[in-house]
Amino acid sequence: MRILVTGSTGLVGSALVPFLSASGHAVIRLVRSEVPPGGAAARWDPEAGTLDPAALEGLDAVVHLAGEDIAGGSWTAAKKARIRGSRVEGTALLARTLASLDRPPAALACASAIGYYGDRGDETLTEESSPGSGFLASVCRDWEAAATPAVEAGIRVLHLRFGVVLSAAGGALAKMLGPFRMGMGGPIGSGRQYVSWIAMDDVLEAINHLLSNPTLHGPVNVASPRPVTQLEFARTLGRVLGRPTVLAVPAFGMRLMFGEMATEVLLASQRLEPARLLSSGYEFRYPDLEPALRHLVGGG
């Protein structure tokens, strides 16, 4: 397929582009920087609302991953505006432009997040579960709704509700490795909150699976079928690294340092079931946490 990817320099995008290329697809990156002559890329400016439709002609699929990092410090008013704007306005621009094409792509896979469900304790959450409350849940609802012009144009739209993506190259796991390797790791808060995680290998293969399966559309939980509690996650990572995990991080300390971001990202509990992925025949390479961590970080 001829596939356009936005957010190609992010954690998932930087792994997805070479993966798709190695799988035989022709990949074009949609970037905000200047495009070098002859490069397999096109330029857009989501903030200015500019995107040349001619750059999108002839595509078979689009994977839209662009968005402001939600975990990069406290959520000031300006940060929250960037989080919402980068997702909602960028998705709306892309969806409108794709809908206007003479030959739109067959599929648009848009990133979303488990933040859609809010903090739900030990409730099992499938794609049929109701949205939650809070800033992230509100952003995710608007983010997914922004793709409506593409749906109305007959494009098969997928909303990828990503769990915590595990990669040693970046994201949450990479930030945890330093403290854990020094024996200073441990659970955050009570440790009872659920972490819905997914290994990067499964993220890439699941996206390829979804793009290739014409019957799937709408929301898809992209997370392992075996979520764990924060306590179990910490103990498993410590075991893989051969380090103790006795230094719990108190919830009040996280809230003091990071405010609303800590409450909604670090301390929230989301126990996802990837019902639609499983029913479509997808087989996880790493359904269990310990083999996934041993693959990603080895024995430390």
How long a stretch of residues is the chain?
Answer: 300
Q: Is 36 exposed, middle or buried (0-12, 13-18, 19+ CB in 10 A)?
A: exposed
* Assigned domain for 43 exists: yes
* Assigned domain for 300 exists: no
User: What's the whole-number average pLDDT of the chain?
Assistant: 94
**What is the pLDDT at residue 248?**
87
CB atoms within 10 A of CB 84: 18
**What is the pLDDT at residue 286?**
98
Count of domains forming the chain: 1
Please give the Cα distance from 53 to 38 (Å, whole number): 19
Q: Could you report the per-residue pLDDT of 233-243, keeping only the tens digit for each? A: 999 999 999 99
Q: Is 296 helix (H, G, I), strand (E, B) or coil?
A: helix
The CATH number of the domain holding residue 107 is 3.40.50.720
In which band, very low, low, confident or very high, does the pLDDT at 56 lie, cut at 50, 70 and 90?
Answer: very high
Q: Is 61 exposed, middle or buried (0-12, 13-18, 19+ CB in 10 A)?
A: buried
Angle, alpha carbons 276-135-271 (nearest 5°): 35
* Assigned domain for 299 exists: no
**What is the pLDDT at residue 236?**
97
Query: What range defines the domain where residue 69 resides?
Result: 2-294
The two structure tokens encoding residue 261:
């971001």
Please give the Cα distance from 176 to 222 (Å, whole number): 22
The alpha carbon of 261 is separated from its chain's Cα centroid by a whole number of angstroms, namely: 17
* Assigned domain for 201 exists: yes
For the segment 254-258, the average pLDDT, to the nearest whole number, is: 86
* Assigned domain for 130 exists: yes
Q: Is the pLDDT of residue 299 over 60?
A: no
**What is the pLDDT at residue 36?**
66
* Assigned domain for 197 exists: yes
Q: Is 145 helix (H, G, I), strand (E, B) or coil?
A: helix
| Of 160, 197, 155, residue with least CA distance to 176 | 197
In which band, very low, low, confident or very high, does the pLDDT at 267 lie, cut at 50, 70 and 90?
Answer: very high
For the segment 75-85, the average pLDDT, to the nearest whole number, is: 94
**What is the pLDDT at residue 296?**
96
* Assigned domain for 106 exists: yes
The alpha carbon of 15 is separated from its chain's Cα centroid by a whole number of angstroms, namely: 13
* Assigned domain for 138 exists: yes
Please give the Cα distance from 188 to 162 (Å, whole number): 21
Which residues touch 204 (CB under 8 Å, ≥6 apart)?
A: 12, 15, 16, 19
For the segment 136-146, the average pLDDT, to the nearest whole number, is: 97
